[in-house]
Amino acid sequence: MFFKKIFCVIILGLTVSNTYSQNINNETYMIIDTDSANEIDDLFAIIRSINVPKFKILGVTASQFHSSPYASKNSALESYKMNKLLKRLLKKNDLVLKAGSPEPMSKTKRSKPSEATKFIINQAKLIPAGKKLHIIILGACTNAASAIVHEPKIVSKLKISYVGFWHNPLTNEYDKNEFNTRNDSIATNFLLDKEGLDFNVMSASVSKNLIFNKNETFKNLGNNKLGNFIKKRWNNYKRWWTSEDPEQKKWIMWDLALIEAIANPEFSKINTFKTPPKNLERNIKIYTYIDSTNMKIDFWRHYNKLMNN
């Protein structure tokens, strides 16, 4: 009986150890690069990324959105301050925050150094062998592109997923006249042209299908500090790019679509395409479909779990 018990303990220990090892191996090392002071969908995306077992978030970096009529002279600093506020509301004291460049790249081979750029480079160098640093770009590509320009050797250690430009998967036609892309077209094209870079795109054409209804959203946010802050932000932020839906009864959650797709690959489809004609010809991956219904259900499940912890 004694030896039987010892045997069971050993087997249990090996099982726990193996499970722990699998969890470590399945971890996604992430940096979220966000223009969170612009719009509100970034806030939902960041919230969805918090306390996800397979996400090892190394930090959140702030990106610029200089082309917005609401932007100050340092929109990256605005995003950094927004990240600090969200960090406090989420009670994530250990979340590392870094400010990015307030300006877009002026030339293809000239980086825009910043604390965010340094952080991306340092973290890429620290990534364990066989793993990649997954940079989630929810705004302009300035910080990630600058990091690669400054330290080209990190390319093999990076996987980049970007919310940007319009794309027709049937014809493989691209339209780069899109907000994130316009905020640093040089940086976007640099990433498209970078041979060997693992580059994935959640196009605006696909992410536009994830739409939150105001009444339902406000009800689900509840009466708490975080929820009330987002409600206020929803009500006070005036969408300068459209005259449709003046009462802002709906909101497209562009950035949340990417986080949901990474968290739940079964909620999306991604395919391989050739880069645009004017870019270096190589293969990149672009999302072609999202299950917006299940993404919404999943977000609120996650939100409720966060609020109840």
To which residue do tokens 């219904």 refer?
Answer: 293
Q: What is the pLDDT along the chain (309 residues), one digit of tens a residue?
A: 544 444 444 444 444 344 333 344 578 999 999 999 999 999 999 999 999 999 999 999 999 999 999 999 999 999 999 999 999 999 999 999 999 999 999 887 789 999 999 999 999 999 999 999 999 999 999 999 999 999 999 999 999 999 999 999 999 999 999 999 999 999 999 999 999 999 999 999 999 999 999 999 999 999 999 999 999 999 999 999 999 999 999 999 999 999 999 999 999 999 999 999 999 999 999 999 999 999 999 999 999 999 998
Measure CA 117 to chain center: 16
Q: What is the pLDDT of residue 24?
A: 45
The tally of CA atoms less than 13 A away on the side-chain side of residue 66 is 15
Specify which residues 162 forms β-bridges with. Answer: 137, 201
**9 in a structural domain:** no
**CB neighbours of 9 closer than 8 A, spacing ≥ 6?**
none
Q: What is the pLDDT of residue 21?
A: 38
Q: What is the pLDDT of residue 8?
A: 46
Q: What is the pLDDT of residue 25?
A: 58
Which tokens go with 132? 């990649």
Burial class for 156, CB neighbours closer than 10 Å (0-12, 13-18, 19+): exposed
Domain that holds residue 205: 27-308
Q: What is the pLDDT of residue 1?
A: 52
- Which segments of the chain does DSSP mark as H helices, in order? 2-26, 41-49, 75-90, 115-126, 142-150, 179-182, 185-193, 204-207, 214-221, 225-236, 254-263, 292-308
Q: What is the pLDDT of residue 110?
A: 87
Q: What is the pLDDT of residue 171?
A: 98
Q: What is the pLDDT of residue 109?
A: 77
Q: What is the pLDDT of residue 309?
A: 83
Measure CA 153 to chain center: 23
Q: What is the pLDDT of residue 23?
A: 42
For residue 188, the domain's CATH number is 3.90.245.10
**169 in a structural domain:** yes
**18 in a structural domain:** no
**Total domains in the fold of the chain:** 1
Q: What is the pLDDT of residue 283?
A: 98
CA 133, CA 61: separation in Å to the nearest integer? 14
Cα separation values, 89 from 85, 175, 226, 251, Å = 6, 37, 6, 22
